[in-house]
Amino acid sequence: MNTSITIRTASEVLDTILSCKGSHVSVHYQTFDKPRKESKASGVIELKRIVKGAFRAGLEFKNLKEIKEAIAAGERGEIQPRKWGVYTKYPFLLEHKGEEYIALYPASGGFIQRPKTTYFVNGQETDRASYNAHLTDSEQAKKEQQAAGELAIHPLDLKVSNLLDIVCEE
């Protein structure tokens, strides 16, 4: 059975996630990046990514197998308290500066599904390299590290207002 919801509120997010307890959820969301100064000057005003992938919610980061193993192997330090945001519905929803966020984690299990990303510059679909060329140097480096899988596993705190859809397959 598939359960799908088009997102409107944090309460709807939580209700959907809780109805999918114990399973991965397919999350469809959008994010917006700031163009570099030179791109703005040439007319680039909107950089948008639309992402769809499998994620987990309702987990405690410190209890993830990958995190425990990395700490035991000395590859990372102990988990520190959050530097921003306050949980409103632990461990699912956070609030920061009036915005609500959902804490998501990469899918796991017998497979690792990399989220699929579609890139848009001023509403026109483009490829990752063209999109990244409009980002600041520091954002370009960060995106390339993410694409190469070089960054350590970390939660994705996603603005509820950027969620497009959540689907639970049971």
User: What is the reported pLDDT for 155?
Assistant: 75
Enclosing H/E stretch for 95: strand 93-96
SS3 1: coil
User: What is the reported pLDDT for 41?
Assistant: 93
User: What is the reported pLDDT for 57?
Assistant: 83
Q: For residue 95, what are the β-bridge partners?
A: 86, 100
User: What is the reported pLDDT for 65?
Assistant: 78
The per-residue pLDDT for range 118-142, each reduced to its tens digit, is 999 999 999 999 999 999 998 988 8
Tokens coding 119: 């890139």
**Angle subtended at Cα 52 by Cα 66 and Cα 108, rounded to the nearest 5 degrees:** 20
| DSSP letter assigned to residue 140 | H
| DSSP letter assigned to residue 79 | P
For the chain, residues with pLDDT lower than 50 are 1, 110, 150-151
